[in-house]
Structure 1
Amino acid sequence: MSLAYGIQLPVQSQSTLYAEGWEADAGPADLVAVARAVDGAGFDYLACCDHVAVPRRLAAAMSTVWYDPVATLAHLAAVTERVRLLSHVAVVALRHPLVTAKQYATLDHLSGGRLILGVGAGHVREEFAALGVDFERRGAVLDESIDALRAALGPEEFPEHHGKFYDFGGLGQRPRPAQPDVPVWVGGSSPAAVRRAALRGDGWLPQGDPRERLPAQVARIRDMRADQGIDAPFTVGAIAEPLYVGRAGWEVGRRTLTGTPERIAESLREYRALGVDQIQVRFRSRSRAELIDQIRLFGAEVAPRLN
């Protein structure tokens, strides 16, 4: 099987953990230009993440720049042709499943069936409190939200779900998603998140697992699915190290994987041997132009060597 690759977009979230300096002054035109480059370079998906509001105590590290994922992905769907659209990740417990389903079903409909719904538990207590959601029970709420969303994003115009936190039926929603089954990828690397991905998801989006941790996590997922008799297709993801194709000529950081296309591809091919199906990449860059050059170089020179 081939190793797929996607990218978390710049600009739309600007945590100090990964944002480049040029992103602070960037905006919609930059997002569109990068998305078009990603689409043209053969990437499997582009991704946007989700926070409704960031408390003052975390703002210095996280920043308060978090574009809404549905609005952003819908905007970018209109200026791209083939690349899939991933929420990485939507904190779906913050919203009623019928609201989430309406938003993402519309996005899938408008984009011609390009949605991948990535979901996660969230971690900002104040965000949950402001929206009236129990932070301590967010895992249980997320579990049921996935089940409710499976129903609400399915083929039925009048979906039904009867659970502990949500109960609905006899309420119609159109347009329906263009896909008969919207893929649900579950984010997180805690034991609870890995179990949730294995038993409720179509894929797993780890959060920062280094390479050496992946084999054990993948084995755990496979064992849990086998124990439950689940044999449906499942996509294992990984977040690769920061990349720079070629010789940078500037300090890109000691963890950045850099060098010739073959050297980078050789390193990334190791993920396939670890049981990974898709990798998410991020490039070091000092400007939009440099990022787009990196995206194009990766698509043209590294991607053909991945498989």
Structure 2
Amino acid sequence: MTYGLIGEKLGHSYSKQIHESLGRYTYDLLSLSREELEIYLKKREFSGLNITIPYKKAVFPFCDQVSELASEIGSINTLYFRDGLLCGTNTDYTGFLYAAASAGISFSGKKVLILGNGGTSLTARKAISDQGAAQILIASRRGESGCISYEDLKSHRDVEVIINTTPVGTYPDNGKHLIELSEFPACGGVIDVIYNPFKTVLLQQAEELKISHSNGLPMLVAQATAAAEFFLDENGFQAENERIIKMLRSQIENLICFGGSEVRARQSAQSHNKTFIRLDDPSLAEQVGRERGQLIYVPDSIVCTPQEKKALLQNGRAF
């Protein structure tokens, strides 16, 4: 393997599609145990790697050089070679700031709430601090030092930006969420680093309240193109972000047809390369809506509740 992604349990990753869409190299996915990781990295039979959970800290000892940014965050997600030296850096930082900027979310002078205290939280914390946030709060269910509890949020209804860095709400646990956004009337920006589903409950609430928001797809793409620039020691790949985001969305989003001609819906499914699904039982909306790459046809005779419509739209758009 020359370039690729290393993690413990990769599941379905979009990293291969993103990197290979740049047209410069092949990119593989490799699930490794901790013991296998050590053996693999010591061999150095690769040109560049992305690192994901749970190895973003574990790779530090294998690097000859670590960027100041990665050291400050305490997390490496990109390994590359320069002059024969194995270097580690963090491009999640770049991806996070790209997602925020794309949604028009600013942190300067703001009171920011971060949900979660894991690796992504550390990256978000560094990025938000560098952007001049007035105050950063970390909410955790485990009660770690330096964090507040979710019960404590009652005293912080004035937060202006909310970032979810936890996996709560990720497929297959769609529908789960940690807070009610309506309880934070000063909030003007929401980022949820989850990208499966496209719209978590938190983001659907932001949409309803007309709050600027972003899911994790822009971050995923932007960290990958930033990594490609390190891999090849070239600039310019980040200019491809929007193209790649649109490509991925078109491939994996659902199209939902509420009524109309079933024949035309079937034709549209074929032309858009989607699996056709006819929904005759609205109680299955949550189950159907959590999958991807579908055209979901809801006959005129089927009446969906607002909650069922939200479930259908969590991974797509009305068509």
Q: Which structure has the highest helix share of the two?
A: 1
TM norm. shorter chain > 0.5: no
Q: If you compute each CA radius of gyration, which structure gives the higher value, 1 or 2? A: 2
TM-score, L = length of structure 2: 0.30
